[in-house]
Structure 1
Amino acid sequence: MTPLTLPLTDEDILSRLRTILHDTFEIEPERVTPEAHLFEALDLDSIDAVDLAIQLQRMTGKRIKSEDFKSVRTVADVIAAVHTLLND
């Protein structure tokens, strides 16, 4: 996967997340909405969250600090985290 280039909209990031979540965890793309809770609605666990963080690192080309990812709970939180990574 090629790293993202700026400028990106939330929809651009959401589209990439839908692909990642489908390819990595077999989650149907229509379930991946900004409001979707990663652990409750999408059935991810803590190990899946680590895998997702690795995928986001590949997507952005930047290293994610674990403390920056601990508060991520929803797809919207992931989108915000990607924006933060890309703007660092």
Structure 2
Amino acid sequence: MTQSSEKKQLLHLVFGGELASLDGVQFKDLSALDIVGIYPDYATALTAWRSKAQSTVDNAEMRYFIVHMHRLLDPEIK
């Protein structure tokens, strides 16, 4: 595939950790963050996020997030 015909990578990071409080997004222990991975598109990241979130459903303080890395790398991309 040539560069012009390749699908554009829209990188997404999935990570999570235990929150200090249910009212915010400050983590109890940054060294204990769970970096699930970096994915080439939102759909793949959502599948990984859903799996991790479901596996920790019994811990109300555990939260997982999807970060749109492509927006940080190139703010012009939507």
| TM-score, with structure 1 as normaliser | 0.30
| TM-score, with structure 2 as normaliser | 0.33
Q: As a proportion of its length, which structure holds more strand?
A: 2
Structure having the higher Rg: 2
Q: As a proportion of its length, which structure holds more helix?
A: 1
